[in-house]
A and B are shown apart, each in its own frame.
Chain A
Amino acid sequence: MAADDLKQFIIINLDKDPYGVEIKYIESIIVMQSITRIPKAQSYFKGVINLRGDVVPVMSLRKRIGLDEVEDTPTSRIIILKPDNQGAPVGIIVDEVREVISLENSQIEKIVYDEKADKANYCNGIGKYENELISILNIPSIIGQEK
């Protein structure tokens, strides 16, 4: 891999901690909407929303990665993700969307977690950006494709 291999990430905040979502997975970012609850769904799925005429399931990222749930705030957003070209979209709720950054491959440290560790399920690298360490989210695993 060439050193100048750049990848763009959107930085989001969860509990004040920064997380990165690679931009290729992101279809759009929308403000909070009314969510229709789905009975007996996985607990981290909040329900479904109407996204321009399509019904899209939405999950709470906090709950998905084992954080406590909080009330929605005015900064809360839903990021619509598309895991691949054919896949149906899924929304994740985040506390805040901060900015878009570019990271070189060299700035990302691949991490290998213990298989059993919770984090292994949703994080696949740490990005070093300015003075921060950003957890890069493993999107396919979060939305439940790789399992």
Chain B
Amino acid sequence: MDVSQYLEIFIEETKEHLQSLNEHLLILEKEPDNENTINEIFRAAHSLKGMAGTMGFKRMQRLTHDMENVFSEIRTGKMKVSSELVDVLFRGLDALEAYLANILENAEEGSEDNEDIITDLNNILNAGLGIAAEPKGENATSTTSNSTSSAGGEKYKFKNIKIEDHEKKAILKASEMGLNVVGLTIYIHEYCVLKGARAFMVNRTLEEHGEIIKLDPPAQDLEDEKYDYDYSAFVITKETPETLAKLAMSVSEVKEVVADYVSLTEAEKTTLNETIKAQSIAKVEANKGTDGTSLKAGKAPAPKAASKPVVNRSVRVDIDKLDVLMNLVSELIIAKNGLVSISSTSDIVLDSAFHEQIEYLERITTNLHESVMKTRMVPIESVVNRFPRMIRDLSKKLNKDMELFMTGEDTELDRTVIDEIGDPLMHLLRNAADHGLESNEEREKLGKNPVGSIFLDAYQDGNNVVIEVRDDGSGIDVNKIRNKAIGKGAITEEQAESMSDKDIIDLLFQPSFSTSDQVTDVSGRGVGLDVVKTKIESLGGEIETKTKLGEGTNFIIRLPLTLAIIQALMVIIGKEKYALPLGSIQTVENIKCTEIKKIQGREVINLRGSVVPIIRLDKILDCEEKEEEPEELLVAIVKKGERLAGMVVDELIGQQEIVIKSIGKYIKCHKSISGATILGNGEVALILDVNTLV
């Protein structure tokens, strides 16, 4: 079968499955009994195996198969999740990713067998089952006893079923909450043809009145008719055993149902309580994956509760096609602006209907633009979702305990920005992990939580998207950088004296400037922060650093929401029109010339209590000299991070949607000119990136 036409879909879907596996494995490591996660992992691994098999990627299939075996054992509770196990599984995922990379390149999976991973997997599998088998034997004798055991007899089969630790916990929890735990054994008529369906119906009836915490045989086997004519169920419910038995009997072809209360012996209760306590105290050890269920487990374990993710209805579209669409919309907006400017010229007499239509057109083009922009927007999640895994690896490599907290993964950014932002963020996170956070011992000495925290927060702020990379580490030692810079000869001592802390920190963003005393594998080669800065600036964004010695560092990245079309304030400077991006303008003020003061040769104004420097745009842009100074100045107040500045303009034209066009590479221009745009009347106006002037 020729499957090459499916290759693209295969690659896309495999990527998704691998990502999902990565994410869920991380969760699993922390919450070894989260059943939803286990089910999700199992499903992803299973689809992956099937897809690889269909496509004829035998090695990939084999590896996934062995991984799936492990997942399957975890799912049935026969194996416990341990850190070593997760390590091996992650190695497996890496190997799968390597296969995928090969497939991407030359449509073949390559010849790496990854025998070592498969052997490790199988070893773990065997070892895990071996250990798991023993307690089973022990438990058989000490099976959950029952208050009315004498009344039992052979029919009450559920009384001889071994109850796992986490199930015991659920039982304990239920009895604390005043709910009944009822054991049932359901007998189905021998002549029943669809045993699976019957069992399913009974279970569904039971679930209407409570929560099934255990089925024996497991639900999957029941559905596959892998049982004789009876099975047992444990239900947490408000009802009495009699009512439940009656309900189950109401399903046809059910021969008999016996039911009774299930409770734990006092001894079991105390041991359980102790383990729960011990776990909540030693939280740090929880992720080592002992047999413990977190307290949450009490509410989860309905065997068939696997919730399917909501499937988005979507079409994959080539990004180039969207670019074409985007360009056309840009042209449309220019044409619309042309119509608007004609309609506002007074020498053409037009009736009001025409104006109405123009306004209508304006509304549609704005909406159209927004919609097209939205199709290009991608949640930042697609970039940041690989970071938890990266931090885990770094944590092991650097031998520092750390945790990554992310918020705002659903913040959306333009596709082109998303593609580029991954590496800078990775750099910053690595920096935070390596340089930012102190070692565990050091942290403990300082009285901090020995586990370091790294935060990645994304949120929208006006026309910008802000991404913060924060750590609670040692912060940047400004004096250390100062000395280092002097030592390197980057600045003289006199210079160092006059530089503010902020200026010094900015040195970090200079090429080849690393403060780490030792170069590690992770970072410290001095090619980090300057690359980050260049990249972010090439995306039209900016980066700011806040740091407090001993408390941590915060890198704040601001990115424009869109790249192609922006809202701008049109102004006249000299006799020329310029566009100022509206996003960076705070207010526009009328300032009397007499209010302008000079401090150290710079013009400043006092704006509601803060001193704001004034920038004469006409001087910077070499505009023609004005004959006489007007009495009042129009000043656009621009905010960049925490700093304000006032830009003097001569006249305001108004707000307009403009399409950003490049002015080409041949022409050199002032750094403040970020591009050009075409106005309604066909003229070209330059776009001033006022941020570069602040």
Chain A residues proximal to chain B, CB less than 8 Å: 34, 36-42, 45, 47-50, 53-57, 88, 90, 143-144
Contact B621 A50, beta carbon cutoff 8 Å: no
Question: Is B676 on the interface with A (CB-CB < 8 A)?
Answer: yes
Contact B666 A143, beta carbon cutoff 8 Å: yes
Q: How far is the CA of A45 from the CA of B665 in the complex (A)?
A: 12
Contact B673 A38, beta carbon cutoff 8 Å: yes
| Interchain residue pairs A-B with the least CB separation, the first 3 | A40-B670, A39-B621, A36-B684
Question: Is B266 on the interface with A (CB-CB < 8 A)?
Answer: no
| A residues in contact with B334, CB < 8 Å | 53
Within 8 A of A (CB), among B583-622: 620-622
Contact of B622 (CB < 8 Å), options: A39, A42, A49, A57: A39
| B residues in contact with A143, CB < 8 Å | 666
B335 to A, closest residue via Cβ = A53
Question: Is B686 on the interface with A (CB-CB < 8 A)?
Answer: yes
Question: Is B493 on the interface with A (CB-CB < 8 A)?
Answer: no
**CB-defined interface of B663-687 with A at 8 Å, one 1/0 digit per residue?**
1111111100101111000111110
Contact B669 A36, beta carbon cutoff 8 Å: no
Task: State whether A55 and B667 are in contact (beta carbons under 8 Å apart), knowing that A36-B684, A40-B622, A50-B684 are contacts in the complex.
Answer: no
Q: How far is the CA of A34 from the CA of B576 in the complex (A)?
A: 12
| B residues in contact with A36, CB < 8 Å | 576, 676, 683-686
| A residues in contact with B670, CB < 8 Å | 39-40
**Whole-angstrom distance between the Cβ of B172 and the nearest chain A Cβ:** 72
| B residues in contact with A53, CB < 8 Å | 331, 334, 678
Contact of A57 (CB < 8 Å), options: B620, B663, B678: B663
Can you sample 7 A-B contacts with CB below 8 Å?
Answer: A37-B576, A39-B623, A48-B667, A49-B684, A55-B676, A88-B662, A90-B666
Contact B666 A48, beta carbon cutoff 8 Å: no
**CB-defined interface of B552-593 with A at 8 Å, one 1/0 digit per residue?**
000000000000000000000000100000000000000000
Contact A39 B683, beta carbon cutoff 8 Å: no
Within 8 A of A (CB), among B601-660: 620-623
| B residues in contact with A56, CB < 8 Å | 664
Q: How far is the CA of A38 from the CA of B669 in the complex (A)?
A: 7
* Chain B contact residue count (CB 8 A cutoff): 27
Among B331, B620, B667, B669, which residue has the most Cβ atoms of chain A within 10 A? B667
Contact A39 B664, beta carbon cutoff 8 Å: no
B573 to A, closest residue via Cβ = A39
Contact B661 A57, beta carbon cutoff 8 Å: no
Contact of A42 (CB < 8 Å), options: B662, B668, B675, B678: B668
Contact B668 A50, beta carbon cutoff 8 Å: no
Task: State whether A55 and B622 are in contact (beta carbons under 8 Å apart), knowing that A38-B663, A38-B669 are contacts in the complex.
Answer: no
| A residues in contact with B685, CB < 8 Å | 36
**Whole-angstrom distance between the Cβ of A64 and the nearest chain B Cβ:** 11
Q: A-B contact count, CB below 8 Å?
A: 70
Chain B residues proximal to chain A, CB less than 8 Å: 331, 334, 576, 620-623, 661-670, 673, 675-678, 682-686
Contact B683 A55, beta carbon cutoff 8 Å: no
**Whole-angstrom distance between the Cβ of A34 and the nearest chain B Cβ:** 6
| A residues in contact with B673, CB < 8 Å | 38-39
**Whole-angstrom distance between the Cβ of A42 and the nearest chain B Cβ:** 6
**Whole-angstrom distance between the Cβ of A117 and the nearest chain B Cβ:** 23
Contact B664 A55, beta carbon cutoff 8 Å: yes
| A residues in contact with B678, CB < 8 Å | 50, 53, 55
A49 to B, closest residue via Cβ = B684
Contact A144 B620, beta carbon cutoff 8 Å: no
| B residues in contact with A38, CB < 8 Å | 663, 667, 669, 673, 686
Beyond A50-B678, A57-B663, A57-B667, 13 additional contacts (C-beta under 8 Å) are A38-B686, A39-B620, A39-B670, A39-B686, A42-B668, A48-B667, A50-B683, A50-B684, A54-B661, A55-B663, A55-B675, A57-B666, A143-B666
| B residues in contact with A45, CB < 8 Å | 666-667
Q: How far is the CA of A33 from the CA of B685 in the complex (A)?
A: 14
Contact B661 A55, beta carbon cutoff 8 Å: yes
Contact A41 B668, beta carbon cutoff 8 Å: yes
B665 to A, closest residue via Cβ = A88
Task: State whether A57 and B683 are in contact (beta carbons under 8 Å apart), knowing that A40-B622, A40-B670, A50-B678 are contacts in the complex.
Answer: no
Contact of B666 (CB < 8 Å), options: A34, A40, A88: A88
Contact B576 A48, beta carbon cutoff 8 Å: no
| B residues in contact with A88, CB < 8 Å | 662, 664-666
Contact of B669 (CB < 8 Å), options: A39, A50, A144: A39
| B residues in contact with A49, CB < 8 Å | 684
A90 to B, closest residue via Cβ = B666
B334 to A, closest residue via Cβ = A53
Q: How far is the CA of A138 from the CA of B664 in the complex (A)?
A: 20
| B residues in contact with A55, CB < 8 Å | 661-664, 675-678, 684
Among A41, A50, A57, A143, which residue has the most Cβ atoms of chain B within 10 A? A50
Q: How far is the CA of A37 from the CA of B686 in the complex (A)?
A: 9
| B residues in contact with A144, CB < 8 Å | 666
| A residues in contact with B331, CB < 8 Å | 53
| A residues in contact with B662, CB < 8 Å | 55, 88
Contact B664 A90, beta carbon cutoff 8 Å: yes
| A residues in contact with B661, CB < 8 Å | 54-55
| A residues in contact with B623, CB < 8 Å | 39
Contact A50 B666, beta carbon cutoff 8 Å: no
Contact of A48 (CB < 8 Å), options: B620, B621, B684: B684
Contact A50 B667, beta carbon cutoff 8 Å: no
**Whole-angstrom distance between the Cβ of B239 and the nearest chain A Cβ:** 74
| B residues in contact with A48, CB < 8 Å | 663, 667, 676, 684, 686
Q: How far is the CA of A97 from the CA of B552 in the complex (A)?
A: 67
Contact A42 B667, beta carbon cutoff 8 Å: yes
Contact A41 B669, beta carbon cutoff 8 Å: yes
**Whole-angstrom distance between the Cβ of A33 and the nearest chain B Cβ:** 8
